């Protein structure tokens, strides 16, 4: 294995289609990362089965028993990532807000995909936000995670047109197709060291 080969932990909360796109990309010879572990905060989601079908180790850490103690939940996640010698954390439809403690611990080593052209349309219901704003284009962004929600420096973005007659479903599908290409490309950039976080900017080698 080359030095740049990174062990990746993917955090999910649902169907896991982005995780699948990463697992598929990682099968290519020379891809600089392997998906070593998938953790869900919700039991029995489809993404866990899909990960297992790739032979990837999976775990569920249900956030609910931790109540309001977000950090206790994250300490459990962090412990599992470390036990599994994870180098990079990839958020793929992981619908929990992370505390500054966890973000700091994985600073420069944790990325997220967000279904909008950041800094536009942060938070949830991004496709609805884009439609309501009358946007003519929309898309997705992969960014390093910083404490502020959906605010980290962008590594890569992909655009799609908003077409007449689009609704949330058609627009989200068009964006999702791009997400599945963008995320493997961005992870390869980070895992190989071609893109790295320096302060609040992304430096490209």
Q: For residues 74-93, which are near ligand GAR according to CB under 6 A? A: 92-93
Active site residues: 114
Beta strands across the sheet bearing 110-114: 57-60, 33-40, 6-12, 88-91, 110-114, 137-144, 154-161
The count of chain residues that interact with ligand GAR, using the rule CB under 6 A, is 14
Residue 157 as a binder of ligand GAR (CB under 6 A): the answer is: no
Shorter beta-carbon distance to ligand GAR: residue 115 or 184: 115
- Minimum CB separation of residue 143 from ligand GAR in Å reads 11
Binding test (CB under 6 A) with ligand GAR, winner from 35, 98, 113, 145: 113
Shorter beta-carbon distance to ligand GAR: residue 25 or 92: 92
Per-residue buried b or exposed e for 98-125, using 16+ beta carbons within 10 Å of the residue's own CB? beeebbebbeebbbbbbbbbbebbeeee
- Minimum CB separation of residue 164 from ligand GAR in Å reads 23
The answer to whether 195 touches 189, Cβ cutoff 8 Å, is: yes
Angle, alpha carbons 59-145-107 (nearest 5°) = 85
Contact residues toward ligand GAR (CB under 6 A) are 12, 14-18, 47, 92-93, 113-115, 176, 179
């Amino acid at each position: 294995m080359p030095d740049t080969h990174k062990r990746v932990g993917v955090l999910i909360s649902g169907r896991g289609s982005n995780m699948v796109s990463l697992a598929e990309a990682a099968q290519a010879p020379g891809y600089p990362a392997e998906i070593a572990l998938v953790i869900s905060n919700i039991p029995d989601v489809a993404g866990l089965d899909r990960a297992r079908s790739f032979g990837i180790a999976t775990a569920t850490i249900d956030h609910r028993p931790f109540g309001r103690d977000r950090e206790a939940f994250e300490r459990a996640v962090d412990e599992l990532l470390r036990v599994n010698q994870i180098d990079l954390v990839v958020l793929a439809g992981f619908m929990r807000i992370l505390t500054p403690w966890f973000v700091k611990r994985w600073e420069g080593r944790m990325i997220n995909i967000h279904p909008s052209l950041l800094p536009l349309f942060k938070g949830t219901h991004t496709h609805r936000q884009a439609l309501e704003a009358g946007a003519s284009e929309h898309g997705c962004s992969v960014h390093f995670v910083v404490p502020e929600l959906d605010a980290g420096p962008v590594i890569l973005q992909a655009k799609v047109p908003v077409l007449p007659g689009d609704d949330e479903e058609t627009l989200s599908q068009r964006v999702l197709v791009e997400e599945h290409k963008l995320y493997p490309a961005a992870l390869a950039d980070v895992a190989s060291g071609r893109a790295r976080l320096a302060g609040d900017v992304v430096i490209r080698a």
